Amino acid sequence: MRFDVITLFPELFEPFARVGVTRRAFESRAVDVRLWPLRDHADDTYRRVDDRPFGGGPGMVMMVEPLVKAMAAIRADQAAAGHERTPVILFSPAGRPLTQARVEALAHSPGAVLVCGRYEGIDQRFIDGHIDEEISLGDYVLSGGELPALTLMDAVARLQPGVLHDAASHQQDSFSDGLLDCPHYSRPEVLALPDELAMPGVECAVPPVLMSGHHAHIARWRREQQLAITRARRPELIDQARAAGRLSKQDEQFLKTLL
């Protein structure tokens, strides 16, 4: 799959190509990231990509013409490579919230064009003419769409086959079954800290069920932890899981014991 990223700051993407899961995804070509620096499509005399808002007000607006030219370059490149025309996504607080379901759909798709806004936002005529979907990471404002673009590509990259060290590990993630993840423990089995590092009130031993070797009990404990944490922190996800038929009779029995 390919991501074509329109940005004023292509250098922000470089560190992610150098480390971790994103590096493996980009190097394996499972995820092909192409950066399109918006200034390359600015009017040659001043290389301007922003201008003052009609109607007045603070800040600057991203100009429509450089964006349209960048899109034309991407479409020409896709056609020349025999690739499909991918949908165009804009990151904006006014978008629909990003979900793991959307990430999974994108991970099985030919990719997307990601438009990273800066300043106060982009000229509405570009949105009307080229944007297929607006996505938000949450109800807060950022100075640019680059971090949302990187977030989306990271979430998609780690779902590509062969990119995670353990192929099954994302089946355990928060949201992979619509519930939040259970707690995780590793060595030592009993934590012994010197007084100056003590964590008052924290249980030093790993939950005994995890040391029992009883796989069915462990699976049940993890499921119950997921249900309890999700009920406490994100009760609406319990309702959604129920509506989607993802809660068993045993799950419902356990949820009753929480009330």
Residues with a catalytic annotation lie at 93, 120, 158, 173
Cβ of residue 91: shortest distance to ligand 4GO, in angstroms?
4
Residue 195: CB partners within 8 Å, gap ≥ 6?
Answer: none
Q: Are strands 88-97 and 133-136 parallel, antiparallel or unpaired?
A: parallel
What does the alpha-carbon distance between residue 207 and residue 216 come to, in Å, rounded to a whole number?
Answer: 15
What does the alpha-carbon distance between residue 231 and residue 229 come to, in Å, rounded to a whole number?
Answer: 5
Q: Which residue type is seen at 192?
A: A
Host H or E run for residue 97:
strand 88-97
- Rule CB under 6 A: which residues touch ligand 4GO? 91-93, 117-119, 121, 136-138, 140-145, 148
Cβ of residue 153: shortest distance to ligand 4GO, in angstroms?
14
What does the alpha-carbon distance between residue 74 and residue 88 come to, in Å, rounded to a whole number?
Answer: 11
Cβ of residue 113: shortest distance to ligand 4GO, in angstroms?
16
Cβ of residue 150: shortest distance to ligand 4GO, in angstroms?
12
Q: Work out the angle at residue 243's Cα, subtended by the Cα atoms of residues 96 and 226, and round it to the nearest 5 degrees.
A: 85
Which is nearer to ligand 4GO, 141 or 199 (by Cβ)?
141
Which is nearer to ligand 4GO, 137 or 229 (by Cβ)?
137
Which is nearer to ligand 4GO, 9 or 119 (by Cβ)?
119
Cβ of residue 97: shortest distance to ligand 4GO, in angstroms?
9
What does the alpha-carbon distance between residue 259 and residue 231 come to, in Å, rounded to a whole number?
Answer: 10
Chain length of the chain:
259
State residue 13 phi and psi, 5-degree precision: -85, -20
Please give the order of strands across the beta sheet that includes 133-136: 32-37, 2-7, 111-115, 88-97, 133-136
Which is nearer to ligand 4GO, 114 or 241 (by Cβ)?
114
Which is nearer to ligand 4GO, 64 or 238 (by Cβ)?
64
The number of CA neighbours under 13 Å toward the Cβ of 64 is 10
